[in-house]
Structure 1
Amino acid sequence: MLSSLPFPRLRQALGPLLLALATVLCLLPFVALCWYAHPSADDFLQATDVHKHGRWGYMPHMYLTWTGRYTSIVLWALLNPVQYGGNITGGYGAICLLLLLALPAALYVLLRTLLADEFRRRTLWLSSGVLTSLLLWQLPSPAEAFYWIVSGYNYLLPALLTLLWLAVLARHAGAISPTEKRNWLALAGVLAVVIIGCNETNAVPIAVGVTGFTVLRCLRQRRLPWDYVWLSAVVAVACVATFLAPGNFARLGPVHEYSIMESVSKAALSSYRFVCNWLGNGALPALTLLLLPVSCRLWRLPDLPLNRLAQHPWFSTLLMAGSLVLVAFMGWRFNNQALPFRTRNVLYLFFLVGWFLNAHAWARYLWRRTERPAFALPLFVRAGLVLWILGAFIGGHTLTLRGQETTDNYNNVLLAYQDWLGGAAARYDAQLTSRYHALQQPGWLPDDTVVEPLQGPPYTVLFGDITPDVSDWSNQAYAEYFGKKTIRTD
């Protein structure tokens, strides 16, 4: 049947089908690994604190003594399955799965908003699947993104809400009636308050972006854009509530090890390394070239939300670069170290979205000046770019420059399949299930407890386990949760 079709129609039918199959195969192992996820570190710490103070007493206690992340505090208090006892892992994998599946859904909402009705829904879903696959491929740490709930609430969830926030702002900009504009603006304000209350990685770019856009709009229109002035004020109040919380000052670490200039220098170098790692295998530039004909077709639609967002390529590029350096600066200045992987996960997500937005913005800038009616790549160029992407997926990490971490540029999809089908995840699940059962037996284990360390744990799933050091804070949280005096591994 297919052989009787003309070649162009055959290629048109098979191309999306094969791409959809590839995206499903990229997502499949991460979905399967949700059933092997187990709590660790802060999951136990937050659960015991909730038991001590009660759910409603826990919230002000954390805000006053530990952190200003008020949204995260509410999530820790109400939606941490570990605190409900009984089956420790009950509901844990389900929340991991929801956070994972929310990723392509949020990308779909953003794409549908920016591209309006120019593409079919199945095409937009396919595009969100491709973006999800790119993210999973080079994500700095899948374990800290999807399989550690405290990190998921702190970083992944607000990142996804930020994508929805961008979609809401696009809806506000394209609304016609004043009532509709007010409703979208109000929703943008609510989302901003929720997002900023999760972590600084999202808060800082939002604050810089909204303020900068408001100033730019004011200069261009020579009047105050009151809607964005109001949104900037809401963002400022939320940032004050988060950054100046008493808990942030109560847990201040040692004095700054690096001066401001040293922190800026280290932040710039860290950002440079991040970008080199993310672009080093050439997959993103290759895919960008493949999408140039689509960009050329879209730029002539002035009312398209994507084009309104791409009006200022200099601003969007500087915002992405500046936000990356500023977030890295905060790590060096206030924590005296490079950003943790969970923060890099969020940065890579925004870099991925920002890369394609900026690519279209600069391509649009070029199309407008050349007034090119159409743009097409020769077949051999397209074939070469596709082969390059496939080669980078299969073995690109062996060819690119490595960063400071041994897993930089690794293909997480292949590692996830290895952890799943190779049995590492199942062994990890069996070892921890056996440990929980032993720790919960009354009177069988002494207060000073020694347990076997994990053997060959899966890289994709495990964030951290207890150590041989009984004074380690994660050991202490673990011991307190199970009612032991101390606990350690052999």
Structure 2
Amino acid sequence: MSDAMTSRIHRALPIFTATLPAAAIAFTALAMTLFAFMQTDDFCTFGRVAAAHGNPFPDIATLYMQWTGRYSSIVAMTAAAAASHVVPAEFLYPAGLLACALVFLWACVSASRLVDREMRPNFPWAVAAFGTVMLLMPSKLEQYLWLTGATVYFLGASLFLVLLARVAAAGTRPLSVRGEVPIWALVVAVVGFNEFVAVMVAACLAVPAFAALRTGGPLRPHLIRYAVFAAAFAAAVLAPGNFARDSASVLARHDLQAALSTGWESLQLFAARFVVEPTETCAALLASAGAGMLLSQSSRPTPNSHWVPWVMVLALAIPVHLVAYPFLVGEAAPGRVLNQAFTFAAIAALILAGRGGAAVAQRAGARSLLIGCVTLGLAGLTLLTSSTYRTVFKTAVDFAPKWHAEQLERHAGLQLLRGTRRPAYVRPFTREDANPPIYAGGDVGPDPKYWINQCAAGYYGIGAVIQMRRE
């Protein structure tokens, strides 16, 4: 074995060991998706596609014309519903959520380039960031354990991070059509997930455009990017479904003064819901800093202008989400919107910590590997032994498998009645109380006219679904 190979192994082994606690958290988050199952709005989408014999296009057209312009999320969700005619839902549903989580892991790897002074991926940082965000996300159900929420917010936020990293990397090399095509495609895809991430895309594209104006660089590539953005944004915002939905609303929409007032309420809700223990916050930041120290020393560090603007764009997520949602909808931002804001703000803070660690590595010299490994490992162990992780792990081990088994048992029973148009009586889940932990957001009720009951009945093709009284 050559000396170079031996040196690489000696360097990789402590890095691998130090990353193990963060990897354990990440693995737990990925494993949690395997115990999720359809609920609430999922039944509505799957039911509409089932009524069309697995053809997703009528539902895509109906939603776009009558409900929303979020074309990317519509396509993603209806595609999953159509696939359920080929792949059983009990396999497809968790696989879809796992795929969304893996896209976010890819997004963290992409964002890790902003931590490196030479714009290379930093895998320990990506694993630590992925595990941290998934662990500390307050509404895990709305983010990555519920397919409807995941396709609207989680998937869009993940692809936005990929877009941001690509735009940042494009600023460090000559622009070319070949390099621009993926950016155009990502712009079109991301804008169609939700309005808030669309505003973030506009801010993301503004960073290199203003840099070109300041330095006298070519403006044509940036004008093309904004032309693509404008077309996608128009398709999303001017969708007939937006106007049809707004016409039936009695809320104060598109009122800036009311939006600012409600935005303040959203900020208070954000502060109340997203309180994280100081120990866990410090551990997350130290883990990112430790991962940042593991980068190879660069003889020519990148200037701050190559990464600071992107952190500022991500930090804009909180005011954008807290004001834009009340302006568009007329009420305070719900948990799923706050989740998206939290994701961007957390990634911004972790990038800052990682860059701080990279700066320390420049001063520490040869000791940076040891300091980085110790910092990353101890911070990861702190998160691994935290009360938040213990709660999540206990839920994943004790609650999730039994709850999932009861979901599948009910699903199998209702499948036997498919197409009979007979009413079905189902028992309440024995593992569910008024507020079941993490996984369950809502269930059918005793009233067959309740919207979840109607959606479930439509999906299974039966007359009605009625929940019996708890014994």
Q: TM-score range by the shorter chain?
A: 0.7 to 0.9
Q: Shift of residue 385 of structure 1?
A: 10
Higher mean C-alpha deviation, range 325-334 or range 129-138: 325-334
Q: Shift of residue 102 of structure 1?
A: 2.8
Q: Distance in 1 between matches of 2:188 and 2:404?
A: 37
1:455 correspondence with 2:452? no
Q: Shift of residue 205 of structure 1?
A: 0.9
Alignment-derived partner of residue 449 in structure 2: 471
Quickly say closer, same or farther: Cα 1:439–1:226, change in 2 above 3 A.
Answer: same
Question: Contact 1:420/1:426 (CA < 8 Å) preserved in 2?
Answer: yes
Q: Tell me the amino acid that sits aligned with residue 242 of structure 1.
A: A
Q: Shift of residue 70 of structure 1?
A: 1.3
- 1:369-448 → structure 2 map (5 Å cutoff): 374=363, 394-395=385-386, 411=388, 413-422=389-398, 424-442=399-417, 447-448=422-423
Q: Distance in 2 between matches of 1:443 and 1:237?
A: 43
Which SS does the other structure have where 1:427 is aligned? helix
- 1:90-489 → structure 2 map (5 Å cutoff): 90-112=91-113, 115=116, 124-176=122-174, 181-211=176-206, 214=209, 216-217=210-211, 219-221=213-215, 225-252=219-246, 253-256=249-252, 259-268=255-264, 270-271=266-267, 274=270, 277=274, 281-285=278-282, 288=285, 291=289, 304=302, 307-310=304-307, 313=308, 316=310, 319-358=313-352, 374=363, 394-395=385-386, 411=388, 413-422=389-398, 424-442=399-417, 447-457=422-432, 459-489=437-467
Q: Distance in 1 between matches of 2:364 and 2:147?
A: 45
Which SS does the other structure have where 1:487 is aligned? strand
Give the fraction of aligned pairs with identical amino acids, expressed as a percent.
21
Q: Shift of residue 114 of structure 1?
A: 6.1
Question: Contact 1:169/1:188 (CA < 8 Å) preserved in 2?
Answer: yes
Quickly say closer, same or farther: Cα 1:320–1:266, change in 2 above 3 A.
Answer: farther
Higher mean C-alpha deviation, range 190-199 or range 293-302: 293-302
Q: Tell me the amino acid that sits aligned with residue 243 of structure 2.
A: F
Alignment-derived partner of residue 3 in structure 1: none
Which SS does the other structure have where 1:84 is aligned? coil
Alignment-derived partner of residue 65 in structure 1: 66
Q: Shift of residue 38 of structure 1?
A: 1.0
Quickly say closer, same or farther: Cα 1:24–1:286, change in 2 above 3 A.
Answer: closer
Quickly say closer, same or farther: Cα 1:336–1:22, change in 2 above 3 A.
Answer: same
Q: Shift of residue 469 of structure 1?
A: 3.8
Question: Contact 1:204/1:327 (CA < 8 Å) preserved in 2?
Answer: no
Q: Shift of residue 436 of structure 1?
A: 2.0
Alignment-derived partner of residue 5 in structure 2: none
Which SS does the other structure have where 1:98 is aligned? helix
| Alignment deviations for residues 207-227 of structure 1 (CA, whole Å, 9 cap, x no partner) | 23324653x335523576221
Q: Tell me the amino acid that sits aligned with residue 331 of structure 2.
A: Q
Q: Tell me the amino acid that sits aligned with residue 419 of structure 1.
A: T
Quickly say closer, same or farther: Cα 1:392–1:91, change in 2 above 3 A.
Answer: closer
Q: Tell me the amino acid that sits aligned with residue 210 of structure 1.
A: L
Which SS does the other structure have where 1:80 is aligned? helix
Question: Contact 1:139/1:345 (CA < 8 Å) preserved in 2?
Answer: yes
Question: Contact 2:19/2:380 (CA < 8 Å) preserved in 1?
Answer: no
Q: Shift of residue 340 of structure 1?
A: 2.8
Q: Tell me the amino acid that sits aligned with residue 140 of structure 2.
A: P
Question: Contact 1:44/1:82 (CA < 8 Å) preserved in 2?
Answer: no
1:89 correspondence with 2:87? no
Q: Tell me the amino acid that sits aligned with residue 168 of structure 1.
A: R
Which SS does the other structure have where 1:484 is aligned? coil
| Alignment deviations for residues 217-261 of structure 1 (CA, whole Å, 9 cap, x no partner) | 355235762211221221122111101100111112223179532
Alignment-derived partner of residue 404 in structure 1: none
Higher mean C-alpha deviation, range 242-251 or range 468-477: 468-477
Q: Shift of residue 431 of structure 1?
A: 1.6
Q: Tell me the amino acid that sits aligned with residue 39 of structure 1.
A: M
Quickly say closer, same or farther: Cα 1:233–1:13, change in 2 above 3 A.
Answer: closer
Task: Point out where structure 2 has 5 or more consecutive residues left out of the alignment.
Answer: 1-9
Which SS does the other structure have where 1:220 is aligned? helix
Which SS does the other structure have where 1:450 is aligned? strand
RMSD between superposed Cα atoms in Å: 4.1
Which SS does the other structure have where 1:39 is aligned? coil
